[in-house]
Amino acid sequence: MEKALHVFKVMKEQGLHRNTILYATLIKGFAKAKDPSAARSLHSEMVAEGVPCNVVVFNSLIDACVRANDLGGAAEVLQHMAAAAVPPDLITFSTLIKGYCSIGDLTKALRLADELQARDLQCDEIVYNSLLE
Is the confidence at residue 130, as pLDDT, over 80?
A: no
Most confident range (mean pLDDT) of 16-20, 46-50, 56-60 is 56-60
- pTM of the full predicted structure? 0.87
Domain ranges of the chain: 1-71, 88-133
Q: CB neighbours of 23 closer than 8 A, spacing ≥ 6?
A: 42, 43, 46, 51, 57
| Average pLDDT for 22-27 | 92
Quick one: pLDDT at residue 129?
Answer: 72
